Each structure stands twice: as structure tokens, then as C-alpha cells.
A and B are shown apart, each in its own frame.
Chain A
Amino acid sequence: MKKFISILSVLVLLPLFAVAQNDGGIVRADNSKFALTNAKIYTVTNGVIENGTIIINNGIIEAVGADINIPGDAQVIDYSGQEIYPGMIDSGTRLGLSEIGSISEANDFREFGEITPNMQALTAVNPNSVAIPVTRVSGVTSALTMPAGGPLPGTAATISLFGYTPDQMFAGSKGVVMNFPSTAQRGWRRRTPEQIEKAREKAQETINDAFDKAELYAKIKESDDARYYPEMEALAKVVNGEVLLYIEVNSAKDILSALEWIEDRGYENVVLTGVAEGWRVAEEIAEAGLPVITGPVLSTPTRGSDAYDTAYKNPGLMQKAGIKVALRTMDTENSRNLPYNAGFAATYGMGREEALKAITINAAEIMGVGDQLGSIEVGKKANIFVSTGDPFQTSTKILDVFIDGYKIPMTSRHTELYDEFLNRTPGVNKNPTKVDG
């Protein structure tokens, strides 16, 4: 029976892979006008449509509903029995910036210097990173890709996971990243309380000094005598509320300090990221009205004494306190596990509906692109995926992915190696002995 099932599953999957293999040919993304029919459509913002149709034209969702006229020139794809969702958005990754973790030459997310907010992650995004197809065939269609390093390491960008240049991939949102001075331990090397406090004070001074200067720069930059400071130019946009400020902060104590700092400075467009102990101070965050990007949900508790499931419960506890929550993997090559991070958050208190919002519409709105991404609505970018069922469920397969209206080849290094090696030729013997009659 088991054998029968596995043969059956190979047969069922064969047509999918057959398209991808194409006799060694290149499979190109297709941007026809599409009519996706007979699917159960989870719009996220306007409920669920049974037996619905989506018309994709010129990269945009042109129509969606149960009773839609199908244009004569549209390529019709029947998705009977399948489900359609808005593409998932991972609100924190190093996608495109990191190719192989341990090799410094293959990592471009960390620049020299303490105050480098003008460093653009978008510039260093490698559109051909092997991790990008691996991620998008799992239904993740957009990602916030972030620089790392000192107090102000650079500017993060929201990208579409399809395109041949960074500009083709840019999804319309940028934000300056700030690492709020941390009193937490990080990594294996323990710091003494004195070392922690000294480092915190120094980092706080560095940040305050930079923003004092930026506020001054914002006032005088239009005058004839003002010199051009690239770092201040980037921070002035934060001061003026023109770009987002992503503040990475995790421990409860640091979150409270950050809330105070934000209030003192009076900056608009601030997003808290990380927020591993957000559940401890959820009311204060909600009161400040700040949105949160949190994750990975699949994390160990921040304190040895915490209950084993605190990281699983954190997003749900914050959401229930009234905070707008988006989720991230903070991963690169395994950003594809975003739906499982959401699945654990759903299971441990957030519920399926809110967890789905946390990786779609909430993420888009927090990044300021809620009018373009994050739900299946007329006029929005056609970033969607088709699945055999609930995308949080581990066994669910993603059948098709559309990004900016392009139907994406459903291949990646992982599927290609599977196709080649499941039944390797030759097997053990390269030239098996032939027995002649």
C-alpha cells in the first residue's frame, strides 16, 4: 500500500516537474493576461470567495470575485479544488545580501563604520541569489531585506522575489535600520553587567549624537553654506518622517527605553523590530501606538526561566493587546519557513486569521505599501500563490506563484537536485555486466 501511494504521488507530481524540466531548456516567467478560475480565494481583506476567479493583467489584479467575465484573450487556468492567497511577505531577512553564511566574501549586509544609514541594502541585492527561487516557490513573494552591524547600519528595502535588477525587484518601501542599545546577551560569549552597561551608554551616546546632528542638518540643509553629509542626508529623512525607522529592540527593559526615546524625539513612522520580549510590555507598546515586526517565532525563550513556549506565544499576546503585528524569519535561505512561523504563532494563541494577516496585509501596511501588496484586491500588484490547502499546514504544496503578474517557474536548486537524484542514473554500477543469452 505504501509503495502504491508513493508511486501514485510520483505520478501525480510528474506533470509539474515535466514542465520544469523541459528537456534542459530554460523555463521563463510568463506575463500573459491570466484568468485563475474555480479556486477558493482568501482575499485577507474581504473574506473568502468560494469558486472565485482572479483576472491578472499587466502585473495588476484587474478583477476578483465569484462572478467574473473572463476576457477572451486571457490564459485560463482552472484551479478547481485549490486555494489562492496573497503572496506571503517576510518582514525581516537578508535575502539577496547573503549567499553563503560562513564566507565573508559572500555576505554584503555589513558595512564598515558605526553610523552608515546611507548604505543601501537594495544596491547589494543579488537578483540571482540561489535562495530567491528556493524562497518564492514556497509562496513567499516579498521580503524586507535588512543590513546589519552597528547602531545605524543602513537602509533596508522591501523587495519582490522576482526580477533581474534591484530596481525591477524594488517593492516601494525603504527604512533606516537602527539597533537600539541592547542590554541582552548575544551569542556564546557572556558579558558582565558592567560591560553591558558601558556598551549601552556608548551606543546611546552615538545614536543621540547622530540624531542631534541630523535634526540640525534637516533644518539647515537647504541653506547655501550647508555641506553635503550622506549619513545626515539619510537620517534627515527619518527626522522629517519621509522614510521608516526600523528600531531593532528585544528585551523588555530595552523596549521601554526605546518607547521613551521615540517619544522624546517625536519621530513619526517608527516600527519596532525583533521585540522578542514584547509580551512582557505589550500594553506599553500598544499605548505608544507602534507597529511591531517580530520573529523568528521558532525561537527559544529569551530567559532560562521562561515557559518553553513564550516565543511561540509572543505574537499572539502582542496582537491581543492591540498591537499591529507582522512576522519575520530573520533568515535568508530558509525564509521559506515563514508560513510555519505563522503556523506556530496561530497554534499558540494568535489564531489562523490573524497569523495570516501578520504575513500579508499587516506587513504591507507596516511598510507603507498596503495599497499595493498584502491582499487580493482589484488594483493591487498580482502577488499571489496557489496551494493545495492551508499554507500553514506542513504537508501543503504550493502549486503556482505569481509575482508582479508573472507566473514564476516552480523550480529551484532544491527541486532540480531532487529531479536529478531521486533515481540517479547510473546507480551503483556505472556499466553493469550484461549477460548475453
Chain B
Amino acid sequence: MLFLCTSVLQAQTKKGDVLIKNGTVITITDGTLENTDVLVRNGKIDRIGKNLKAPNGVEEVDATGKFVMPGIIDAHSHIAGTSINEGTSQVTAEVSMEDVVDPLDVGIYRALAGGVTSIHLMHGSANVIGGQNETLKLRWGSTNPEDLRFEGAPRTIKFALGENPTRGGRSRGIQPQSRMGVEAMLRNTFNDAIKYRDAWNAYRSNKSSRKVAPEYSLRMETMVDILEGEVLVHCHSYRADEIYMLMKVFSDFGIEKLTFQHANEAYKVAPELAEFGASASVFSDWWAYKLEVYYSTAYNAAILTENGVTTSINSDSGELIRHLFHEAAKTQKYGDLSDNEALALITLNPAKQLGIDNRVGSLEKGKDADIAIFDNHPLSIYAVPQMTFVDGVKYFDIENDAADQRIYIDPESTVEDVQILYSNDHDRCMEGANVVNFTDLFNNK
């Protein structure tokens, strides 16, 4: 019975075979190769070279004059999630985004149309220790959420510092209401986790038959997994002081892997980030939508890169995710990054931050065939994504792009709703944070 369940859940996702001919291949790790072919067999990159022959039955794609790059990876996304925040407590390490994956969100297709192949579906930022995130591959068209899981990707969890969790604390009259309280809550929770681990270790090593087991807590189990490096922390943060604080807390508890999300002021503590080995996943240019991002600079990604910090550019937006290649290009205006450095911000670097760089993030033999093809250099404003492959399977082709995305049109249905959103509608991390009364939070925007 157990075997049956597992085999149903682990249904094989589709793997493709394709030969992409004669493109400019941007490998990220091994330079940019002109007039080069990429052969994909069974979802993996089999060969990169010149004048490759398509094996029997393998489809050829002519990429003459086109640019072939690794599929874009968004290290901070909320598309394909039916809910974002579990805000009932300031610590909700027990919940996971894996339970709320929506494979039917049209945002997935729109992201594919922007060359994106993987996303980090993140919990929101309403609480200090939020829920676990889920790394996905955009296998559009399946109705089974399991099919979108990036099998083998490390577990990750969302933390949040600063205005969002303290605002929640203030509106409910609980800790934390300040950055002091945020630090205290983190240290207290980690100390509780150590006690929990010690209690279970003592129980397990006790040979007595009359022993009583400690109370089981999925929340504390997850905290212990963080302490042991099995769950990677991605922390919503903005100001340099809170970024510095978390590095000190993690040093004290011996936690080595840490990615700061947003991190608008990371540039101020770039040397400290480099020394710790922490990485940063930032916006290209968002700022001033709240006090803690008022002292921002669009040169953030470039300063971090020049200081040796592994940096990515993310979207946190169903709109921005469609043109991350353009967002990466802004680092050439703001800080003169090279083409390869700029493109690494949306490919190899986010892959490193998610612990999936052995699988994706560059075009290399043996890596997953997650590939985007553009008609112009992807850092050009005139670049239009042409095709997007995940595991060698084509999920977007501009030639077959339908003007109407409805799968089934009901002739009786009324015309669907029109939704007007402006780019100013920032900070989707707080979406659905009802428990902190978001009417009050957002009516001043």
C-alpha cells in the first residue's frame, strides 16, 4: 500500500530530446560559443559542439541568428501558489508551500514566455520564521502539482526581518514590535530547538523500557533541520543592520548557509556578507515603496558582485518575472557588469542559492536541459523569447502562442473580469496576510 502511494506521487515527468542547431550558445560557465549546437537526450544536455547530427527521431530546432541560454531561475516568486502567508503565529516553520502549488496559474505560462524555467515559490513575510518554500520547474500543462516539483532540490524556508513582521506584532499587541524583538524571537526559537533536539537525543539514547517520549513538534523538527544545515534559510530583509544581525545570530548557532532576499541595503555590508559567505537575491531597481527601502541604490547588485557576494536578481512579481533578462541588463547601466556577470544573476547564481546548481543554471553536459532561446541577445531591450524548454520538453514556442489562453471556452459564460494593476502595487510578500488586517496595511498606498 505504501509502495503504491509513493509510485503514484513520483509519476515520471516528461523528458525530451532535441537538437538546437547553430545558435550563439551562452553557457555561463564556459563562455559564449558561436554557431554551436546543443544536443538534448532524455531531458539532459548530452553534447555541446559544432556540426552535431540529430540521432534518429530527434527533432531539430534551427537557432541560426538566435541566442541559446540556460533557463532563467527566479529565486523569489509567488506565482503558482494558492496562498502565501500563514500568519497565525510569528513562527510557522511547520507549514510548507508544497501544499499550495497551483499548476493551473496562467502566471506559469507567462513566466515561460519570459524564458523562466524554475521558480522558488516562497512563503510570505508576515512572520519572523515563516513557512517552508518550494522549488518548482515550470512544467506547464499538468494538472498534478507534484509534476511541478523540482525533484531533489534542497528544502528551504522563509524568514523575515524588519517592517513586515514588526507591523504584524504591533497590530496584534505581541512580540516583535521592533528589530530588537525580531532578534530575540530568533534566538529564543533556536534555543528552544536545541532543547528539543537534546530531549529527543536523550530519549533515543536511553535504553530504559519505561522512558516517556518528549512531545513531537513538526515546527521544532524543522528548526532542528535548519540548525543541522538540511533546510536552507532565505530571509526577507532590507536594512543593513538587520542583515548584519542575522549573520551574527547564525554564526552563534553555527548555521552556515544563508541567502538574504530583497536585501536592498546589502550593499552597505557587502564585505561582511562576502566574509560570512552569505548570498543576496535582490531587485534590480525597486525602492522607496516603504521606509526601509528609502536608502536604496540600483547599483546594489553590482556593488555586491564586485565585493564577491553571490548575487541574484529576482522578481517577487507575476509581472517582473516575465522580463528578468531585462532586469539583469540594468546592472550594465548601474554598475557595468559584464554580459556573463549580468546573466549569471538570473541563472547560475540563483541556482547556487537554491542548492540546484549541480542540475541547472548553466549549459553544460550532464545538466538538465532547461533552456531559453531568444531572437536577440537576452540583455538587449529588443530581445524576444522564442522558445523555452524544461527537461528538453518545449513548454513555450512563440510560433504556437495562442491569442486566447482559455483551455475550454463556455459559450454561456459572461465575459471574464478585467483586472487592472499598476506596477506600484509592490510587496506581494504580504499578500493574504489577513491576520494582520491588510486593509489597514494597504489603504495608504
A residues at B contact (CB < 8 Å): 2, 5-6, 9-10, 13, 99-104, 107, 130-131, 182-188, 190, 193, 250-253, 274, 276-277, 296, 298-309, 329-334, 336-337, 340, 343-344, 346-348, 392-397, 413-415, 417-418, 421-422, 424, 427-428
Interface string of B413-431 (1 = CB under 8 A from A): 0111111111111110001
Minimum C-beta distance from A384 to chain B (A): 19
> What A residues does B384 contact at CB under 8 A?
347-348
Q: A300-B318, A333-B287, A344-B381 are in contact. Are A102 and B445 (CB under 8 A)?
A: yes
Which A residues are CB-close (under 8 A) to B420?
Answer: 182, 184-186, 250-251, 274, 276, 302
Within the assembled complex, what's the spacing in Å between the Cα atoms of A16 and B224?
A: 52
Verify B275–A428 contact, CB threshold 8 A.
yes
How far in angstroms is the closest Cβ of chain A from B310?
16
B45 to chain A, nearest CB (A): 24
In the complex, what residues of B have CB within 8 A of residue A5's CB? 338
One of B286, B289, B401, B422 near A102 (C-beta < 8 A):
B289
| Separation of A307 and B340 alpha carbons in the complex (Å) | 31
Interface contact A308-B338, CB-CB below 8 Å: no
Q: Which residues of A contact B272 (CB under 8 A)?
A: 428
Chain B residues whose C-beta falls within 8 Å of the C-beta of A330 in the assembled complex: 422-424
Q: Is B268 engaged at the interface, CB distance under 8 Å to the other chain? A: yes
Interface residues on B, range: 35 or more
Whether B299 contacts A422 by the Cβ 8 Å rule is: yes
Give the shortest distance, in Å, between B420 (CB) and chain A (any CB). Answer: 5
Chain A contacts of B275 at CB under 8 A? Answer: 428
A304 to B416 alpha-carbon distance, docked (Å): 8
Say whether B250 faces chain A, with CB atoms less than 8 Å apart: no
The residues of A that contact B425 with a CB separation of less than 8 Å are 187
> Does B332 count as interface, using CB distance less than 8 angstroms?
yes
Contact with A along B254-289 (1 / 0, CB 8 A): 000000000000011011100100000000011111
Within 330-360 of B, Cβ neighbours of A (below 8 Å) are at 330, 332-336, 338, 340-341
**Which residues of B are found within 8 Å of A185, using beta-carbon distances?**
417-420
Output the nearest chain A residue to B289 by Cβ-Cβ distance: A101
Chain B residues lying within 8 Å of A392, measured Cβ to Cβ, are 381-382
Give the residues in chain A near B289, CB-CB below 8 Å: 100-102, 333
List residues of chain A with CB within 8 A of the CB of B341: 2
CA A186 to CA B406, docked complex, whole Å: 22
Stretch in contact with the other chain, from B168-176, B180-188, B209-217, B290-298: B290-298
A2-B28 Cα distance, complex, nearest whole Å? 13
Q: Which one, B3-11, B106-114, B128-136, B362-370, is touching chain A?
A: B106-114
Contacts of A344 in B (CB 8 A): 323, 326, 381
B160 to chain A, nearest CB (A): 15
Q: Which residues of B contact A183 (CB under 8 A)?
A: 418
Q: Flag if A421 contacts B303 (CB, 8 Å).
A: yes
Q: Is the CB of A277 within 8 A of B338?
A: no
